[in-house]
Amino acid sequence: MKQLIKACSLFTCCLLLFTAAEAQPLKQSTGFTRGDTLRGTYGPSRDWWDVTKYDLHVKFNLKDSSILGINVISIKVLKKGKELQVDLQEPMILDSILFSTNDIANKKIPEIRKDGNAYFISADNFSVPHTKYPDVRLYVYYHGKPRVAVRPPWDGGLIMKKDKNNNPFVSLACQGLGASVWYPCKDHQADEPDSAEMHITIPDSLMCVGNGRFRGKVNNGDGTATFNWAVTNPINSYNLIPYIGKYTHFSEVYDGEKGKLDMDYWVLDYNLDKAKKQFKDAPRMMKAFEHWFGPYPFYEDGFKLVEAPHLGMEHQSATAYGNKYMNGYLGQDLSGTGWGLKWDFIIVHEAGHEWFANNISTKDIADMWVHEGFTNYSETLFTDYWYGKPAGNEYVIGTRKGIQNDIPIIGIYHVNQEGSGDMYPKSGNMLHAIRQVINDDSTFRMILRGLNKTFYHQTVTTKEVEDYINKESRINFSKVFDQYLRTVQIPVLEYKIDGYKLSYRYTNCVKGFNLPLKIKFKTEQWIKPTEKWKTLNLYPEGDNSFTVDPNFYIKTKKVD
């Protein structure tokens, strides 16, 4: 048994670092290229125009994994610009770009400049003067064989598999890697289209499931069919994903905070019975998260779980599910407490991203902790809601074993580089500490719901989130954010006991670190440590033992 526990702990640590269910950590670079800058910077080739819609038409050739497509990109010109950047990753090939404006129809762009995975066209084609042509449509034609995912979804790209009956089972995963791995787009999180459509052509014996609402199927008379899906809400480009396979469907209607919510489930036909049992966690998830976070953010597009040929991903309104119909994370409890085996990790975690990642998205991938930290903590809040606060506390404390403290959680800006995998359990534990200090779950819940209301369907920065929490809690957590997000230091509370006197201070911390703590020294009480020694005097009666509430992620050290 001890060997099994040791093995499971090692497995847990590895998963917490590279869990696709929580994100796809990018390779940590020590040096950055021009390509990284072009991909990660929201600069002069991007900041003068706004995407309003993607209308994607793609034909999949499942025999050779090639695709042929056109993306109609509707844009609004915001100001005068020089060049416009469209992203499409090699080995995909951009063939041509046409454009239309208010009084120009389907005019071909004469010159396209290629720089790695970025293509540039002169803004002179349609934006001089920019006020004359406020709306532009780009028709971007392309083809090729997308990069194949080696270990999806951690190593993203096209996923070509077979189900157990040897039918094609196909999808993509591209968070971090970028949607431009399979279609041309403005591949930066700071700009989300206001809506999107997908028209996917595949063999007519299969089904294609996409984001949003199904708009019908067209039989093409040549052994293929085109499946039409539409999203009416803003959506991040990496979330726009088709699923192709021998699907069957069942559904239910959830009575939610904003009314009736369609909850649809698409699974491989032979897994229908297992799915009907396992997916009972979906309405439980919705009930818990609408309580904590507010209404599901995409009622107009519905909610879906879609069986995928990989573990899972937060594809907006079409969550990828590949947890093999087991509780926990592929049958394992990431907290090691037992609570994580009472629910399906992929259903809970990935759906939590509908609020944090899909409703509230970060402008730069360096701030990805906003997606992953809050969603990691959603697991705790789900456990809390259904099994009680002590269970939630045990769960979040148990996840600390996966914290590595290797590099800071916030990554490097403007080069498409996120930070440490600690953005999951360490950020979750930071939020748990903030919750303890607020010491009022009504206020904490109001803050979570307020974030989703204030930044509804918006992109944000870390500073905006920090400022909001500070303002609404009326507590300045700035140094707490600095400590846990921007350093790898775990604060140490040094203390010494002299009779009925307790002296304490923080070390191994940022200057000004001031996280209040709940302690037990003769009685339970709060202290407000700083880097300077403070002394607490109590009556001499009682036990002189000293403990810090374990809900705070710090270390303690007794000194002479």
DSSP codes of every residue in 31-91: S--HHHHHHH---TTTTTEEEEEEEEEEEEETTTTEEEEEEEEEEEE-S--SEEEEE--TT
Instruction: Answer whether residue 292 is part of any domain.
Output: no
Q: What is the pLDDT of residue 119?
A: 98
Please state, in angstroms and as integers, the Cα–Cα distance from residue 425 to each residue in 298, 372, 380, 468, 553, following that order. 27, 9, 11, 22, 11
Q: Is the pLDDT of residue 193 over 80?
A: yes
State which H helix or E strand residue 209 sits in: strand 207-209
Q: Is the pLDDT of residue 187 over 60?
A: yes
| Rounded Cα gap, residues 295 and 215, in angstroms | 25
Amino acid, single-letter form, for residue 323: N
Q: What is the pLDDT of residue 365?
A: 97
The CATH number of the domain holding residue 547 is 2.60.40
Q: Which of 380, 375, 310, 369 is nearest to 343 (CA)?
A: 380
Place of tokens 């003067």: 129
pLDDT digits (tens, 9 = 90+) for 24-59: 444 555 689 999 999 999 999 999 999 999 999 999
Q: What is the pLDDT of residue 17?
A: 37
Among 425, 457, 485, which residue terminates a domain? 485
Stretch among 103-112, 195-204, 243-252 having the lowest mean pLDDT: 103-112
pLDDT digits (tens, 9 = 90+) for 330-372: 999 999 999 999 999 999 999 999 999 999 999 999 999 999 9
- Buried b / exposed e across 120-145, counting CB within 10 Å, b at 16+? bbbbebbbeebeebeebbbbbbbbbe
pLDDT digits (tens, 9 = 90+) for 257-271: 999 999 999 999 999
Residue 48: HSE in the Cβ half-sphere, 13 Å Cα cutoff: 20
Q: What is the pLDDT of residue 124?
A: 87
Instruction: Answer whether residue 412 is part of any domain.
Output: yes
Verify that 470 and 526 share a domain, yes or no: no
Verify that 420 and 399 share a domain, yes or no: yes
Mean pLDDT, residues 151-167 taken together: 94
| Rounded Cα gap, residues 263 and 301, in angstroms | 10
Q: Is the pLDDT of residue 16 over 60?
A: no
Q: Comparing 320 with 101, which gets the higher pLDDT?
A: 320
Q: Is the pLDDT of residue 21 over 50?
A: no
| Rounded Cα gap, residues 47 and 457, in angstroms | 19
pTM of the model: 0.94
Cross-strand pairs, 74: 53, 137
The whole-chain average pLDDT of the chain stands at 93
Mean pLDDT, residues 170-193 taken together: 97
**Cβ(84)–Cβ(97) under 8 Å?**
no
Mean pLDDT, residues 313-326 taken together: 98
Verify that 551 and 420 share a domain, yes or no: no
**Cβ(262)–Cβ(302) under 8 Å?**
yes
∠ Cα 297 298 299 (to 5°) = 110
The CATH number of the domain holding residue 408 is 1.10.390.10
The strand ranges marked E within 386-500 are 458-460, 492-498
Q: Which of 1, 6, 4, 3 is nearest to 401 (CA)?
A: 6
Instruction: Answer whether residue 348 is part of any domain.
Output: yes
pLDDT digits (tens, 9 = 90+) for 407-425: 999 999 999 999 999 999 9
Please state, in angstroms and as integers, the Cα–Cα distance from residue 177 to each residue in 80, 149, 189, following that order. 30, 10, 12
Percentage of residues in the chain having pLDDT higher than 90: 87
Verify that 475 and 512 share a domain, yes or no: no
Q: Which of 186, 173, 457 is nearest to 315 (CA)?
A: 173
Quote the number of domains for the chain: 2
Mean pLDDT, residues 275-297 taken together: 98
Instruction: Answer whether residue 283 is part of any domain.
Output: no
What is the bridge-based pairing of β-strands 118-122 and 113-115?
A: antiparallel
Q: What is the pLDDT of residue 11?
A: 36
Mean pLDDT, residues 136-157 taken together: 94
Q: What is the pLDDT of residue 30?
A: 62
Q: What is the pLDDT of residue 38?
A: 96
Q: Comparing 467 with 79, which gets the higher pLDDT?
A: 467
Q: What is the pLDDT of residue 542?
A: 65
| Rounded Cα gap, residues 415 and 412, in angstroms | 7
Please state, in angstroms and as integers, the Cα–Cα distance from residue 386 to each residue in 284, 286, 540, following that order. 8, 12, 42
Most distant CA atoms of the chain, gap in Å: 90
Verify that 508 and 480 share a domain, yes or no: no
The torsion angles phi and psi of 282, rounded to 5 degrees, stand at: -65, -50
∠ Cα 252 215 244 (to 5°) = 80
Q: What is the pLDDT of residue 128?
A: 53
Residues 6+ apart with CB under 8 A from 381: 288, 289, 292, 392
| Rounded Cα gap, residues 515 and 477, in angstroms | 8
Q: Which of 130, 71, 124, 67 is nearest to 102 (CA)?
A: 130
Among 485, 512, 537, which residue terminates a domain? 485
Instruction: Answer whether residue 206 is part of any domain.
Output: no
Domain hosting 504: range is 492-558
∠ Cα 205 206 210 (to 5°) = 150
Q: Is the pLDDT of residue 15 over 50?
A: no
In this prediction, residue 454 has a pLDDT band, given cuts at 50, 70 and 90, of very high
Among 485, 504, 524, which residue terminates a domain? 485
Q: What is the pLDDT of residue 339?
A: 98
Please state, in angstroms and as integers, the Cα–Cα distance from residue 92 to each residue in 65, 139, 470, 526, following that order. 12, 16, 45, 59
- Bond from prior residue into 153 cis (ω within 30 degrees of 0): yes
Verify that 523 and 470 share a domain, yes or no: no
pLDDT digits (tens, 9 = 90+) for 497-556: 988 899 999 999 999 999 999 999 888 999 999 999 999 987 766 677 899 999 999 999
Verify that 544 and 503 share a domain, yes or no: yes
Q: What is the pLDDT of residue 31?
A: 84
Verify that 473 and 546 share a domain, yes or no: no
Instruction: Answer whether residue 535 is part of any domain.
Output: yes
Verify that 540 and 466 share a domain, yes or no: no
Stretch among 108-117, 278-287, 535-544 having the lowest mean pLDDT: 535-544
The torsion angles phi and psi of 268, rounded to 5 degrees, stand at: -60, 140
Q: Is the pLDDT of residue 131 over 80?
A: no
Verify that 515 and 408 share a domain, yes or no: no
Instruction: Answer whether residue 350 is part of any domain.
Output: yes
Verify that 420 and 538 share a domain, yes or no: no
Instruction: Answer whether residue 553 is part of any domain.
Output: yes
Q: Is the pLDDT of residue 111 over 50?
A: yes
Verify that 382 and 431 share a domain, yes or no: yes
Q: What is the pLDDT of residue 153?
A: 86
Q: Is the pLDDT of residue 455 over 50?
A: yes
